[in-house]
Structure 1
Amino acid sequence: MPDDPYEALGLPKSATADEIKKAYRKLVRTSHPDLNPDDAGAEARFKAIAAAYEVLKDPETRARFDAGEIDGLGAERPQRQYYRDFAHAPDNAYQQGHGFGANADPADIFAEILRNRGRGHGADDFGARDFQAAGADARYTLEVPFLDAVRGSKTKITLPGGQSLEVKIPRGTEDGQTLRLRGKGSPGFGGGPPGDALITVLVRPHPVFRRDGDDILLILPITIDEAVLGGKVTAPTIDGPVGLIVPPGASTGRVLRLKGRGVARAGRKLSGDQKVELKVVVPPDPDESLREFLSEWRQNHGFDPRIDLMKRAET
């Protein structure tokens, strides 16, 4: 597993927060073991990119990594001064059965401390106490429906040991986002705190809606007469159907905006919008009256929507 989270995500150190998020989402889809069951290296890659994203997504932990205070897994790096304190301890500290000289390797010192703890003595000579360590974080994945992610929901996952764990999906959860459940990971050592459960959420695509940040995108079919004459139509939103006014003369590709009908994130006052792209749909089998009307209209009108396109193509 790379110690450099930038390398794990394939990014330079100058990458923006948005670039980090996009790279992570892309790699989750190509490296997640559940989505790539035939790829033997998928699990190892997924663990590496998940750990890298945990470090880089938070500005504070990213700054600490850049400063050398933590490693690529987010663990504290040993402080050099701490080693120097041992290397320059008084001579009598090395004469109490440890056998270290003035030029002892700090790694040998710590190894001897741990050995002495195993024999039940000696560690307190250096001020050490009972060994404690936090438990390891446990990583899981959870696939949720699109509407459950944008609206928020609760669900349960079954852990490898058979234990059931309830997971709250905050409203506005994004594809690839990692949720942290404090204290739900592996147990600690020597009375240390348990680790956390890290749940990577994979959002299933929706057959109608797409998401762009906090905005919801929708393609809405309209008829020829609605496009020409305008009118009130019904459009689906993530919170249910609403009325929408189609202006007269609307063409395919025109985008109408439903203010505040997008994603409402937890902790934010303003919601996104829903952008409705119109698509004029011709009847699959036009009746004779429509054919006659359009034939007469074509003969008596000289409208050509491609004139401007042809002019711009020549410039």
Structure 2
Amino acid sequence: MPSRREVRDRRRPTVLGSFVHLARRARGVAFWTTVAASGAYAVYRVVARPFRPANRRLALFLGKHLMEASGPCLAVTTRPVELERFAGGTLRRMVLAGIPVVVAVVTPNDELSERFDAQDEEALEAAHRIGYHRLQLLKVPAPFQQQDVEDRLEEVWNEVEPEVVVAFDPLDPLGWIQIPEERLCGEAALRLAERLDGERRVKLAFCGTSRPNALVEVTPILPDKIGAVVSHRTELSAPPLAINLGLRLTGRLPDLRGSFEALRILEPARRSRDQQAIALRRAARSAEPAPDAREVRRAVVRTRIPADAARGPEAAPSNYWASDGSVPEEVGASGGDQPGSRTR
């Protein structure tokens, strides 16, 4: 029988046993850490796919080239909060570079001015944070038509003579952005650039796009962009802290090494191609049947009446109550004007 000392020595862990135990635990921790990191990176790649350009180096070069513009910038939108959410940092960098930025806000002209008092103050506060040179309202009849938006925008275009035009992408917008008015403004800017820019010097920068080809770094001025977006308090459904966190995370989607805004810069040679693509898409959309215009289907009612009895009008019974020539006694017994009544 072993003594107490021998039993105590057997229970005492050795150095080698402790090392093996720690190695097993470290291996388990490393395995699950690798699994968690791989899953997080896969989710990041899926979420960041619409914000990541195909060629990162070329996208950074195009973003720097866009910031080297010397002429004025014209931004077209129907909701300034959306414009500042997707391109506020780019516009802020232009202002800091000495480029005058004019924002044309397309609004319906049949709305009462009292409804826009609070939003006007918030838009002015956001404009002060970004540093817009001018914030101009373009009154257009509602519902918005492309020709009306184009006519009103042409007046500002001829006055500003922009070198850079910022609008929402009318051809390839992000899937979760369902703002048809913004796409209409983008189409109007594209048509005006093709018609008025004879010297081919205007750069079109489309934001909110699913096919970006340019990245503009906004890491140093990200607080200014967030402050401008949070200024629209009546139009935000989430608390400011959530908006702040969301904008910071969204800015890291194109590249984890900094905060960027993804744009699609359209070269003058590709404007006609975009117009043709938009025209073909619109024609295909108009050719599709309306969702409510369904083919009328006739209901087939099955009865037990023999087919020979319903071949011709002579075989059809003249009395609803008597299909075989017999009428119950109680039917129409109290009155003579009831169907199937008998005259006594």
TM > 0.5 between the two?
Answer: no
Structure number with greater Rg is 2
State the TM bucket, normalised to the shorter chain: under 0.3
- Alignment TM-score, normalising by the size of structure 2: 0.18
| Higher RCO structure, 1 or 2 (CA under 8 Å, sep 6+) | 2
- Structure 1 length normalisation: TM-score? 0.19
Higher strand share: 1
